[in-house]
Amino acid sequence: MAKGDDDNNGSSSSKQISVLFCCLGNICRSPLAEAVFAYEVEKQGLKAHFGKIDSCGTGAYHQGDPPDDRTVAVCRQNGVPIHGTARKVKLSDFANFDYIFGMDASNVRNLMAMQPRNSRASVHLFGDFDDKKPIVDPYYGGDHGFQAAFKQCDRYARAFLASLNLEKSSQL
Catalytic residue among 28, 29, 54, 87: 29
> Looking at the domain assignment, is residue 133 inside a domain?
yes
Provide the whole-model pTM.
Answer: 0.90
Q: 165, exposed or middle or buried, with CB in 10 Å at 0-12, 13-18, 19+?
A: exposed
Q: How far apart are the C-alpha atoms of 61 and 64, rounded to whole Å?
A: 9
pLDDT higher than 80, residue 6: no
> Looking at the domain assignment, is residue 151 inside a domain?
yes
> Looking at the domain assignment, is residue 76 inside a domain?
yes
Q: Look up the CATH number of the domain holding residue 74.
A: 3.40.50.2300
Q: Is 137 noted as a catalytic residue in this protein?
A: yes
Tell me the pLDDT tens digit for each residue of 7-65.
333 334 468 999 999 999 999 999 999 999 999 999 999 999 999 999 999 999 999 99
> Looking at the domain assignment, is residue 56 inside a domain?
yes
Catalytic residue among 54, 93, 104, 137: 137
Q: Is 29 noted as a catalytic residue in this protein?
A: yes
What is the extent of the structural domain holding 70? Answer: 17-164
Q: Is 153 noted as a catalytic residue in this protein?
A: no
> Looking at the domain assignment, is residue 63 inside a domain?
yes
At residue 135, what is the residue type? I
Catalytic residue among 23, 56, 75, 153: 23
Tell me the pLDDT tens digit for each residue of 86-121.
999 999 999 999 999 999 999 999 999 999 999 999
Instruction: Show Cβ contacts of residue 1 under 8 Å, excluding neighbours closer than 6 positions.
Output: 16, 18, 51, 52, 96
Domain count, the chain: 1
